[in-house]
Amino acid sequence: MGVRIGVIGTGAIGKEHINRITNQLSGGEIVAVTDVNQEAARQVVNDYSLHADIYPDEASLINAEQVDAVLVTSWGPAHESSVLKAIKAKKYVFCEKPLATTADGCMRIVNEEMDLGKRFVQVGFMRRYDSGYIQLKEAIDNRVIGEPLMIHCAHRNVETEDHYTTDMAITDTLIHEIDVLHWLINDDYQSVQVFYPKKTRNALSHLKDPQIVMLETKGGIIITAEIFVNCQYGYDIQCQVVGEEGIVKLPEVANINVRKQGNSSTAILMDWKHRFVDAYDKELQDFLDSIHQKGEVSGPTAWDGYIAAVTADACVKAQQTGQQEPVRLQEKPVFYQG
């Protein structure tokens, strides 16, 4: 019998995860669904032919006996409440980013989880499951390039919707680099600074685009991250780590080469959803497998959610002040070490 899952929030990402668990992965079953829009929840149950009950609210879903684990895919401000309720009920939680909208909110979850004494919460930072990043981490951990000294990375989107604001370049976009890079180099951020290059004419007036974020770690590694969310040409994720003895670089997406009309070309993805599709599958399969095999979740922790929140806050502040801003992280609890 697989892990019985209740879903809180049946928007776009919720539906994708429901589809994954139902039609592509092994060992999980959607048995419960809720959404602030009950009609939307009903629609999803219908569309995916789920054998799932529709609950009126998160509390009733979380506490339902048939629910082993909760998938939190509601909008960000609702996450903290759902996660806290779920772990208090000793239900496993897979929570999409952000874990909570504030660092304090993340800490409340961290503390609750530590009180319970085992890992209930996995945060949806899927890049750690991407084959390219995994290879980068293996190379770094195996000291292929010696000590890492600098990282240059780029996060480029084709275009943004009108409601996308300057701070979202941090909280919605860079947030993935914030998580994956400290994991990659086993280090913590110490300070951040934001620079604004010449603005592209393809961004709306309210949006500063592109931006360069410089993050410095406690170990002295400097990361320069380009965020360019209206780059027009494609969804493109670059990452290069410069070490004492060499360099490792994220691979390009493996598309066919076409030689035609004077050019040798390879297609670049236009839709971000395709870039990490394998990583999304793997993070959820890992969630299911870990519960099944260990009775405890793996992957990005509540503490990682806290780090992301604190670092993103510092970056947003640095966007406003133009100054180098400290990243003030609490001491990492033993519970989350190793």
- Identify residues 264-303 at the interface with a copy of itself (CB under 8 A): 264-268, 270, 278, 285, 289
Q: Which of 186, 255, 320, 321 binds a copy of itself (CB under 8 A)?
A: 255
Closer residue to a copy of itself, CB minimum distance, 15 or 85: 15
56 near a copy of itself, rule: CB under 8 A: no
Smallest distance, a copy of itself to C-beta of residue 241, A = 10
Closer residue to a copy of itself, CB minimum distance, 75 or 233: 233
Site for a copy of itself in 218-237 (CB under 8 A): 219-222, 224, 226, 228, 231-234, 236
Q: Which of 278, 24, 242 is nearest to 134 (CA)?
A: 278
Closer residue to a copy of itself, CB minimum distance, 88 or 199: 199
Evaluate whether 114 touches 124 at the Cβ level (below 8 Å).
no
- Say which residue the tokens 């994708």 belong to: 16
Phi then psi for residue 86, to 5 deg, are: -65, -45
Site for a copy of itself in 91-150 (CB under 8 A): 131-132, 135-136, 139, 144-150
Smallest distance, a copy of itself to C-beta of residue 317, A = 19
What is the CB neighbour count within 10 angstroms for residue 41?
25
Q: Taking phi first (over 0 means left), then psi (-120 to 50 degrees means alpha), and beta for anything else, what does residue 27 get?
A: left
Using the rule CB under 8 A, give the single segment among 23-31, 81-89, 106-114, 159-167 that binds a copy of itself: 23-31
Closer residue to a copy of itself, CB minimum distance, 163 or 201: 201
CA distance 337 to 264: 47
Number of residues assigned to the chain: 338
22 near a copy of itself, rule: CB under 8 A: yes
Evaluate whether 180 touches 137 at the Cβ level (below 8 Å).
no
CA distance 287 to 62: 17
Q: Which of 46, 50, 42, 62 is nearest to 21 (CA)?
A: 50
Q: What SS3 state is found at 161?
A: coil
Asked whether the bond before 98 is cis by omega within 30 degrees of 0, the reply is yes
Site for a copy of itself in 166-205 (CB under 8 A): 195-202
Smallest distance, a copy of itself to C-beta of residue 285, A = 7
- One character per residue 24-53, x = contact with a copy of itself (rule: CB under 8 A): xxxx--------------------------
CA distance 188 to 217: 5
Closer residue to a copy of itself, CB minimum distance, 52 or 302: 52
User: How would you classify the pairing of strands 222-228 and 211-217?
Assistant: antiparallel
CA distance 108 to 278: 32
321 near a copy of itself, rule: CB under 8 A: no
Closer residue to a copy of itself, CB minimum distance, 116 or 258: 258
User: What would the two tokens of residue 321 be?
Assistant: 């002040």
23 near a copy of itself, rule: CB under 8 A: yes
Closer residue to a copy of itself, CB minimum distance, 111 or 131: 131
Using the rule CB under 8 A, give the single segment among 3-11, 101-109, 119-127, 240-248 that binds a copy of itself: 240-248
